[in-house]
Structure 1
Amino acid sequence: MPVSHKNDLVVVSGASTGIGAATAHELAARGYHVLAGVRTDREADAARAAGVEPVILDITVPEHIKGLAERISDDPGRRRLRALINNAGIEINAPVEVLPLDLWRQQFEVNLFGHIAVIQELLPHLRRSRGTIVNISSVGGVAALPIFGAYAGTKFALEAASDSLRREVKAQGVQVVVVQPGGVRTDMAAHSGDISLELADRMSPEHQRLYGDLIKSTVASNAAFLKRALPAEKAAARIAHVATTARPRTRYTLGTDAAFTVPLARLLPDRLMDRVLSASHRSRQGPSTH
């Protein structure tokens, strides 16, 4: 039987699919009451379950964030906010030279500024509960692959903001944890390759010559890897544990690729790390078919 935590709330953003949805259901199974952030009524209907209460939450919309804070303040059971899991995100990959600036800004609005806005609004609740903030970063927040510049940039920034925040709120009793997933089988990961190829089709002939093969090989490599990547449910079990354990570490990796890549990125010189990532890219593609 699951342990009851009927006096605890947990917020999970980006909970309509993938890691977020799986984490919301995992926490509910453990007895928590999950406020699951979704963006549409249709997503809310799909997310609703025992212990999972959908809330309309686009983290780039201030009114949605304030509404979430009011829902917590007005909780009929006067339950405390045990944890905030900042999981919402988007991934649009293209070479630095090619990706339009509005798509750079869009990714930073969702993957960084939106999370900061939620943190700013909910920190008073987390201080009262001595709760935990879990920021879902990425192996890309430590090692940036080709064409992942914008997405990785948002995750590098989230890592830095998390470090500062952790040091700022430690004395207030609030824990800040970064989770760094590698390859996880999710809709976002699966669709990001299609988006990259669509953007590549709209490139100029010169950019096609410079980057076309790189984009195609990177998309193919990632698609091949995702077939054997970590299931979202296994990632969710780890995140749920991290969010609710009494003394979490400051960082956790998810998946063997992240466990391998993250320490190497911190230890190896840049040029050597470039070669390691290039070799890993080729091995993911498998033997040539030409």
Structure 2
Amino acid sequence: MSTVFSETAWLCLAVTAALGGLVLYKFKKRPGQVGRTVFCLAGFCGGAYLLSLSLFWGLILFSLSCFLVYVYLSGQELLPVDQKAVLITGGDSGIGHALSKYLDELGFTVFAGVLNEKGSGAEELRRTCSTRLSVLQMDITDPQQIKDAYSKVVQKVQNRGLWAVVNNAGILGLPADGELIPMREYKRCMAVNFFGAVEVTKAFLPLLRKSKGRLVNISSMAGGVPMVKLAAYGSSKAALTMFSAVMRQELSKWGVKVSVIQPGGFRTNIVGSSEMWDKLEKDILDHLTPDVLEDYGQDYILEQRNFVSLTQKYANPDVCPVLLDVRHAISAKRPFAFYTPGSGTYLWLCFVSYCPTGIVDYFSKKMYRRKLCFESSLPRALSVPPWKKKAT
């Protein structure tokens, strides 16, 4: 009996080793978020093995787990490029610009929608990329420009079809206390980050349904994690995240797969220029009521731009994790519904989703104070000592 058990155990061990080798081989070829998922599955398998009371059944269970992981990784294999056509919005700078170059290098036919086809970003794409890349004038808040871009895409792809749409174009708006942000900025964020993405999606969906392709929406961690100063931006990204989730369910019957990317802090040009900030600050001061201006104080309002410089200090300048996840979303046989590139992004989203609100608020306040030094800046009405208020 012991001999039979020994032979069976050795056989299970050999099968486990073989399957483990296959898993490692496939794991090394997987980009982006897949690696994190595999580590979680491997941890589960290891835990199940350690908790097993029997070596024999432990090996059986571990072998089965390795097989399931192997099947899972097989579903994450990337489809051949074959010059698949991809439309990317917001290609002037930042993630959209880098993504256009990256997908062009991989052999995709890229349509880079830009806000200004004569700008430096558009010119750089024309100069550095292959002839497969086309620059399209595409202000996503302008329905006519979207229609014109659609016509040019159809004319070029013809029977090959459009494989993927990446809604990347977005603006940060004015980071400030929600009460201070003018309604114009709330509407502007929604117009670009949400309504623009929806309109592009609706325009190009007939092509995606025909190719059974991919819709990828670039949202943000701020769309799932409440972040101070980002009421306008976070609300628009939360709307985009929910839109993506609904479309994922509705488009599944057409064979179209929908993914949403929720990046953490990456350093891009989304913060805008100094001239833009001067205009936004003037816009705030011009539209505040006397009571609100008195309570907050002009000094506090003008300090809001420090938020951007401080957050940029902790932002990651390397956007490669985002590019890898987008590539996986448009190329994998079975892409994920959600991607969370960036250090700690996934943990923060889980923390906010499952922890009591009071605990989330406490740790958020501690983190922001430690990193962004908010305790040194308070609205005028909160920073004036009580005895001074009585004296006035």
- Normalised-by-shorter TM-score class: 0.7 to 0.9
| 1:218 Cα deviation after fit | 6.5
| 1:124 Cα deviation after fit | 0.9
Answer whether contact 2:182 2:283 (CA < 8 A) is retained: no
Write the deviation string for residues 45-66 of structure 1: whole angstroms up to 9, x where unpaired. 2322213211000111111111
Answer whether contact 2:95 2:268 (CA < 8 A) is retained: yes
> Relative CO higher for 1 or 2, CA cutoff 8 Å, sep ≥ 6?
1
Give the alignment partner of residue 244 of structure 2, picking from 157, 162, 177.
Answer: 162
Is the partner of 2:163 in helix, strand or coil? strand
List gaps (5 residues or longer) in structure 2.
1-78, 378-392
Q: 1:244 to 1:199 in 2, by over 3 A?
A: farther
Answer whether contact 2:209 2:255 (CA < 8 A) is retained: yes
Answer whether contact 1:10 1:33 (CA < 8 A) is retained: yes
The answer as to 2:301 corresponding to 1:223 is: no
Give the alignment partner of residue 100 of structure 2, picking from 16, 21, 24.
Answer: 24
Answer whether contact 2:102 2:323 (CA < 8 A) is retained: yes
Task: Give TM-score, length-normalised by structure 2.
Answer: 0.66
Tell me the equivalent position of 2:155. Answer: 74
Q: Of Structure 1 and Structure 2, which has the larger fraction of its residues in helix?
A: 2
Give the alignment partner of residue 47 of structure 1, picking from 110, 114, 125.
Answer: 125
Moved more, 85-94 or 210-219: 210-219
The separation in 2 between residues aligned to 1:264 and 1:166, in whole angstroms, is: 24
Answer whether contact 2:167 2:218 (CA < 8 A) is retained: yes
Report the AA paired with residue 16 of structure 1: D
Tell me the equivalent position of 1:36. Answer: 112
Moved more, 3-12 or 123-132: 3-12
The separation in 2 between residues aligned to 1:246 and 1:102, in whole angstroms, is: 42
Write the deviation string for residues 212-269 of structure 1: whole angstroms up to 9, x where unpaired. 6776776545533423422353122332232222211110112114223211110112
| 1:130 Cα deviation after fit | 1.0
Moved more, 191-200 or 143-152: 191-200
Answer whether contact 1:137 1:155 (CA < 8 A) is retained: yes
Tell me the equivalent position of 1:9. Answer: 85
Answer whether contact 2:83 2:107 (CA < 8 A) is retained: no
Task: Give TM-score, length-normalised by structure 1.
Answer: 0.88
Percent of residue pairs identical:
29
Matching of residues 1-290 of structure 1 within 5 Å: 5-43=81-119, 44-48=122-126, 49-50=129-130, 51-75=132-156, 78-93=159-174, 94-189=176-271, 191=273, 194=277, 203=288, 206-208=291-293, 210-211=295-296, 219-234=305-320, 235-285=322-372
| 1:194 Cα deviation after fit | 3.9
| 1:270 Cα deviation after fit | 1.8
Answer whether contact 1:22 1:232 (CA < 8 A) is retained: no
The separation in 1 between residues aligned to 2:113 and 2:305, in whole angstroms, is: 29
Q: 1:197 to 1:267 in 2, by over 3 A?
A: farther
The separation in 1 between residues aligned to 2:160 and 2:264, in whole angstroms, is: 34
Report the AA paired with residue 361 of structure 2: D
For these two proteins, the number of residue pairs brought into alignment is 288
Write the deviation string for residues 126-183 of structure 1: whole angstroms up to 9, x where unpaired. 1111111111111110122222111111011111111111111111100111100111
Report the AA paired with residue 125 of structure 2: A
The separation in 1 between residues aligned to 2:373 and 2:167, in whole angstroms, is: 34
If you compute each CA radius of gyration, which structure gives the higher value, 1 or 2?
A: 2
Answer whether contact 2:266 2:319 (CA < 8 A) is retained: no
Q: Of Structure 1 and Structure 2, which has the larger fraction of its residues in strand?
A: 1
| 1:285 Cα deviation after fit | 2.7
The separation in 2 between residues aligned to 1:289 and 1:158, in whole angstroms, is: 34
| 1:288 Cα deviation after fit | 8.7
